[in-house]
């Protein structure tokens, strides 16, 4: 069944995320979503004057006289909350989204899933060869550290602690080469994190009660609450780890602090990219860095300015409550959420009780709204589905493929437009409704538990 992309901008409010759907150059009403057929994306306007943008992994995007990335990297990284870049999706932003998605996909290609291997559930390659080994020869980054994580054994069901307590490789930290830094306009420190693979990670995903983050000892901010399973993966120690010791958090904070100090005399950006569970950990890390002030230049260098933190979230679930979202906004953590509207993972936790259910008739805040999960940041929504491969709705490579199809030379159709399979997009979406209601019933217990009912 052919995929389709839609464009709609949800009315922006201080307590809801900004949503944009990819992508069209024509104006559209925010009240009535405009359906865009991706079947027309093969048409190219060869006669138009264009500038070619080539990403390190070979991604190509054509744009009308597009300025170099180095001249507008702050905007591409979210300095202006991506205003004017998402609707329509700017070619430079699209190329950067795809580039970071491919750097996350490298985690999956390098992850050893062979039980017979000595590196089982770890990276198959050494740091110096990893990106090249997975086909990213021109990525322009040098991997500086591998990152491992394990959930809190005490929080897992009885009998599972021993088998699930070991740390697993979940991603890497990297920094741009001199040549790539010139192309990007700054020295980019990258953290790339994969999604859920192991059994313990799946268990952690279902630990969906909200818990205080408590990242700053001097001001624990008990009202800032995040999903306990993600928090467990981020903060739990594994002293018996084969390749590393210490929590995922300590590994990341230590390495990023080291790289910031090393490049303190340069202009720096911190980019945190992750898929699914990895996007949740990336958001926790972004908040943590900003809350502790670790995104500041040492010795007040570079005019005392803060280093921008940008999270590229792919197929990410909700992470925390309204106070968590508000605090991320206050700290200037920029989050670009790339989601498939048919991906159920992006609806969790809080399938039923979320930012959309906080207020009654848009006026009255409900008494239990503080216990609701809320998305953070600006959303770029894709819309794709394959009848023969339901799992594709969450697959990172499918996300990348759809982004590569989202060009600016597309044709806008009406709600009655049929896709190549002859089925309307809303019919495909409705196939997920029974699943959503089942999850809603399960997640309803989250609110009751949070309120002590």
Among 232, 247, 276, 279, which one carries the catalytic annotation? 276
Residue 221 in 3-state DSSP? coil
Question: Residue 176 has which token pair?
Answer: 């741009």
Active-site option among 238, 394, 395, 408: 394
Burial of 409 (0-12, 13-18, 19+ CB in 10 A): middle
Select from 199, 176, 197 the least CA-distant residue to 187. 176
Active site residue 288: no
Cis peptide leading into 248, omega within 30 of 0? Answer: no
Instruction: Tell me whether residue 276 is one of the annotated catalytic residues.
Output: yes
Catalytic residue among 152, 188, 238, 343: 343
Which ranges of 333-387 would DSSP assign to H, the alpha helix?
Answer: none
For the chain, how far is it from start to end, CA to CA, in angstroms? Answer: 45
Query: Both tokens of residue 144?
Result: 């500086």
CB 352 within 8 A of CB 446: no
- From the number of C-beta atoms within 10 Å of its C-beta (0-12, 13-18, 19+), residue 104 rates as buried
Report the alpha-carbon distance of residue 95 to residue 198 in Å, rounded: 31
Burial-class residue 56 by CB neighbours within 10 Å (0-12, 13-18, 19+). buried
- Catalytic residue positions, numbered: 276, 343, 394
């Amino acid at each position: 069944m052919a995929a389709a992309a839609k464009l709609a901008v949800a009315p922006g409010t201080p307590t809801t995320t900004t949503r944009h759907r990819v992508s069209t150059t024509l104006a559209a009403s925010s009240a009535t979503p405009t359906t865009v057929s991706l079947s027309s994306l093969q048409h190219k306007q060869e006669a138009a004057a264009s500038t070619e943008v080539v990403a390190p992994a070979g991604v190509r995007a054509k744009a009308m006289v597009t300025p170099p990335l180095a001249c507008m990297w702050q905007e591409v990284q979210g300095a202006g909350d991506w205003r004017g870049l998402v609707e329509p999706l700017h070619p430079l932003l699209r190329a950067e989204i795809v580039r970071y998605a491919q750097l996350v996909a490298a985690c999956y290609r390098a992850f050893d899933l062979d039980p017979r291997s000595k590196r089982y559930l770890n990276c198959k390659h050494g740091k110096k060869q990893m990106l090249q080994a997975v086909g990213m020869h021109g990525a322009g980054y040098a991997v500086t550290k591998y990152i491992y994580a394990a959930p809190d054994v005490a929080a897992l069901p009885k009998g599972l602690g021993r088998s699930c307590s070991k740390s697993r490789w979940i991603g890497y930290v990297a920094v741009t080469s001199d040549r790539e830094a010139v192309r990007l306009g700054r020295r980019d420190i990258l953290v790339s994190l994969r999604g859920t693979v192991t059994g313990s990670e799946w268990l952690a995903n279902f630990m969906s009660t909200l818990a205080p983050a408590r990242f700053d000892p001097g001001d624990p901010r008990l009202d800032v609450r995040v999903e306990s399973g993600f928090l467990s993966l981020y903060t739990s120690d594994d002293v018996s780890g084969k390749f590393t010791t210490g929590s995922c958090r300590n590994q990341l904070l230590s390495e990023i602090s080291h790289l910031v100090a090393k490049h303190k005399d340069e202009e720096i950006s911190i980019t945190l990219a992750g898929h699914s569970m990895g996007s949740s950990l990336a958001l926790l890390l972004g908040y943590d860095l900003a809350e502790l002030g670790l995104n500041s230049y040492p010795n007040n260098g570079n005019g005392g300015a803060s280093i921008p933190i940008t999270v590229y979230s792919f197929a990410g679930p909700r992470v925390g409550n309204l106070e968590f979202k508000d605090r991320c906004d206050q700290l200037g953590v920029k989050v670009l959420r790339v989601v498939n509207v048919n991906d159920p993972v992006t609806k969790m936790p809080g399938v039923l009780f979320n930012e959309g259910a906080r207020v009654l008739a848009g006026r009255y805040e409900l008494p239990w709204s503080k216990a609701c999960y809320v998305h953070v940041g600006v959303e770029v929504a894709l819309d794709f589905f394959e009848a023969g491969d339901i799992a594709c709705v969450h697959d990172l490579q499918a996300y990348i493929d759809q982004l590569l199809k989202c060009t600016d030379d597309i044709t806008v159709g009406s709600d009655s437009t049929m896709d190549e399979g002859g089925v309307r997009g809303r019919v495909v979406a409705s196939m997920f409704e029974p699943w959503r209601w089942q999850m809603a019933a399960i997640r309803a217990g989250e609110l009751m538990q949070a309120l002590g009912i």
